[in-house]
Structure 1
């Protein structure tokens, strides 16, 4: 792999500076035929993704699985919720009974019962809410997905619910394993980011026949490769310089990608400034969408595995 990326003839060192500082020119030159001078987009992508997962997974303090509390430690158990609601129902019932006795005594003595009636109304509303919550709360042996189905009033495949409940419970019991599975799936399926991005790039240039699928593929692959290398550099900076390094890393992580996207769009597609600006804004939204879809894919693979 090192030979494929570095090629030991200077390809890597002629590609990396352009990828970092002149991504648009690199993209345009590669598309226009100067392919023998640079590392291919896919080789750069594979190298950057491999390096990112190798570094991020082994640098402490960023994605340390030990920092993730078990679900049982972070939230009360279902049994304790049952007991708490049951105790609250009993307390409200006793209070209402006491107020009703006080009201009867006040009526017999000819005193005003307005304040007692106000309290009764409030406590009865509270009791009604608690009773509704107790009905909606699943039994101790009932899966939470069934509660969702019950609240929606829709029939759901029982086998699917049972399967989902088992998988969710496994993830709740061992969140570190879930994170590990998601990391592994992220490395194996990182290529999915490219086809997820291509339809949106095509839409942004749908009326410009000059640019085809190949152009968009080169653009997306080089762009993702740069973002992966950026994460590597910022992770190492954050680790080396502590709190100040992490602060700088987060600021750079927010500031650098839009600038890089703008430069790659403007010079890679030879756009005017305004055209590059609005496409950069659109591309930032695309990144949000594709990142969310990719995260959901990793979550599914981590839970379902």
Structure 2
């Protein structure tokens, strides 16, 4: 070697340029970074394509097993197969993101009633109410004990029937209830709700202010609930895990980490199921609601496989977990409402 110092090449440096650890081999044993540092556009594209394909491979492997054998996926991840599958939390956040995108593009199925339809529906109700009132007046004018008086009544296109005064009065009350509902569809009840809340406050200042804001601008409250639901979707996990711990309190060798993996993978499947139901609803696929039965079936398979239970133990624990899920969802919704009502 000449007396002049050789030019320093960072590619040949045994020191990791990321964490400073002395490398043993081509990769740092401390942080995993390669010793070969490139600065070309072609190398950048290679890293990008490799990263995307690697992540996609983990995602697809995890999704396939989540749908086909959820208990096996949960058990294998708990037992240590971590690099082969996508971790539960990133998978859940990915599924929530997909649901949010589908919901933002398609929107929720509409449940509003057409006012013209309500108008057309209300006309027969008023006509039948008039006929019932006339029949009641006729029956009250008849002689004899009231319980023995019977009046003939019929609607257009229907055969006549004989009814007692008690039956006619019960039908009248039902028709009045239907008319009240239909009347509420014609107008905007917002002002009446605001007036009621002002006259009957709860006494809890923050709640009263939140209820008034919600009544005055329900669309804004819905927007806040949607935004907070997306941002705090992860909160379902810490709410559910302690309840799972209580359910499996007497089971040895089971930790809260195991329950967290179970809950997160289960929520991932449920999120994908909701996404599928939303898509099917927008496509007007018949009998789409039957797909909802996939959740209890999936929960049973995951419970039995993840915890190594018999069919009977997995069945009753699956039913208990569904109760836990309902409680966790209720707590989560109440938290979202509290955030929505807050200033």
Structure 1-normalised TM-score? 0.65
Counterpart Cα distance in 1 of 2:264 and 2:104: 22
Q: Choose the corresponding residue for 1:216, options 256, 259, 273.
A: 259
Deviation track 1:252-301 (CA, whole Å, cap 9, x = no partner) reads 12x11111110000001111111100101101111111111111111121
Correspondence list, 1:10-159, <5 A: 10-62=57-109, 67=112, 143-146=198-201, 148=202, 156=203
Could you tell me whether the CA contact under 8 Å between 1:235 and 1:249 is conserved in 2? no
Deviation track 1:96-123 (CA, whole Å, cap 9, x = no partner) reads xxxxxxxxxxxxxxxxxxxxxxxxxxxx
Deviation track 1:206-244 (CA, whole Å, cap 9, x = no partner) reads 11121101100100010101111111122112212x1xx
Task: Confirm or deny that 1:249 pairs with 2:288.
Answer: yes
Q: 1:279 to 1:181 in 2, by over 3 A?
A: same
Q: Choose the corresponding residue for 1:173, options 213, 216, 219.
A: 216
More helix by share: 1
Higher RCO by CA contacts (8 Å cutoff, separation 6 or greater): 1
Query: By how many angstroms is 1:142 displaced?
Result: 7.6
Q: Which runs of 5+ in 1 are unaligned?
A: 70-139, 149-155
Deviation track 1:125-181 (CA, whole Å, cap 9, x = no partner) reads xxxxxxxxxxxxxxx6983453x5xxxxxxx5xxx43x4333211111111111110
Q: 1:144 to 1:261 in 2, by over 3 A?
A: farther
Number of residue equivalences: 217
Could you tell me whether the CA contact under 8 Å between 2:108 and 2:278 is conserved in 1? no
Counterpart Cα distance in 1 of 2:50 and 2:313: 39
Query: By how many angstroms is 1:250 displaced?
Result: 2.4
Structure number with greater Rg is 2
Query: By how many angstroms is 1:9 displaced?
Result: 5.5
Counterpart Cα distance in 1 of 2:199 and 2:229: 28
| Higher mean displacement: 229-238 or 17-26 | 229-238
Structure 1 vs Structure 2 CA RMSD: 2.8
Task: Confirm or deny that 1:207 pairs with 2:207.
Answer: no
> SS in structure 2 opposite 1:228?
helix
Q: 1:199 to 1:141 in 2, by over 3 A?
A: closer
Counterpart Cα distance in 1 of 2:269 and 2:53: 16
Q: 1:297 to 1:239 in 2, by over 3 A?
A: same
